[in-house]
Amino acid sequence: MRRFFGFLFVLCVFSCTPTLAPAHEHQGGETAEQAQTVEWLQKWKRPAGDFAGIPHRKDSCCYATGEKQDCFVVKQVRQVDGKLEVFPESEGHAEYDRWYPIEHGIAEDLQEDPRDSPDGRAYVCIQGQMVICYVGGAGG
């Protein structure tokens, strides 16, 4: 009997533990709002900002550096010396656990054709160590 319960425990640990998956891929059991957000992230195109040679809305914000998560919900926002900085909600992706400045005119509210967050939360996409896409959430 003890062996049976041990087996059930091990089975549950492996089958009940959620797997970390990119925020911009569909997951089983997602709500309609979550599905809408995933669709929005998949279609979000990079604004040119003030980068020379970057075409406006040509390239995707997500998967900018390959098939791995690079867009995140923004966990915290702060102002440092008059500049906006964000900290991504990057659980499971320790390489992104730091503050990032929003520079180069890439914030959606600065664009001629701004995009609104699909669910009222702020999002950030990171390439290398630089933010390439940012949309503020409701109220900011």
- pLDDT for 92 equals 83
Q: What is the pTM of this model?
A: 0.76
Residues present in the chain in total? 140
- pLDDT for 5 equals 35
What average pLDDT values come out for the chain (140 residues) when binned by 10 residues?
38 31 58 88 92 91 69 95 95 91 95 95 92 86
- pLDDT for 35 equals 87
- pLDDT for 70 equals 86
Domain ranges of the chain: 2-135
Burial-class residue 15 by CB neighbours within 10 Å (0-12, 13-18, 19+): exposed
